[in-house]
């Protein structure tokens, strides 16, 4: 049986969790609540994005320009 190569102590050390990369966020402002949430949940499932956290932020406006203005602020 062949011998294993011993690992260096450096490779066995834990990574410092203080220096983890922050999660990236994408803000999606929508007109409604139900349909858009379901759409993005299906998108998440289809692409197998298990770590993606979806939060729907409905706009207080129903027109396109109002939604854009709400997202900008």
Q: 15-53, pLDDT tens digit by residue?
A: 666 666 666 667 777 777 778 888 888 888 898 888 888
> How many Å apart are CA 73 and CA 70, to the nearest integer?
6
Q: What angle do CA 46, 48, 54 make, to 5 degrees?
A: 85
**Can you tell me the distance from the alpha carbon of 52 to that of 40, in angstroms, rounded to the nearest whole number?**
10
Confirm whether 44 is domain-assigned. Answer: yes
pLDDT for the residue numbered 23? 65
Task: Provide the domain limits for residue 71.
Answer: 32-73
Establish if 17 belongs to a structural domain: no
Of 59 and 51, the structure prediction assigns the larger pLDDT to 51
Whole-number pLDDT of residue 17: 62
Query: What average pLDDT does range 3-7 have in this prediction?
Result: 70
- pLDDT of the residue at 1: 62
DSSP H or E segment with residue 20: none
Which sign, positive or negative, has the C-alpha torsion 29, 31, 35, 39? negative
Kindly state whether residue 62 falls inside one of the protein's structural domains.
yes
4 lies in some domain: no
What are phi and psi for residue 22, nearest 5 degrees?
Answer: -70, 155
Q: Considering its fold, how many domains does the chain have in total?
A: 1
Residue 24 lies in a domain: no
Q: Which residue has the higher pLDDT, 3 or 48?
A: 48
């Amino acid at each position: 049986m062949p011998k294993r190569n011993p690992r260096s102590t450096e490779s066995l050390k834990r990574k410092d969790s203080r220096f983890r990369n922050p999660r990236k966020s994408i803000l999606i402002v929508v007109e409604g609540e139900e349909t858009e949430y379901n759409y993005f949940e299906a998108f998440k499932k289809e692409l197998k994005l298990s770590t993606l956290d979806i939060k729907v932020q409905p706009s207080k406006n129903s027109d396109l320009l109002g939604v854009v203005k709400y997202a900008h602020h």
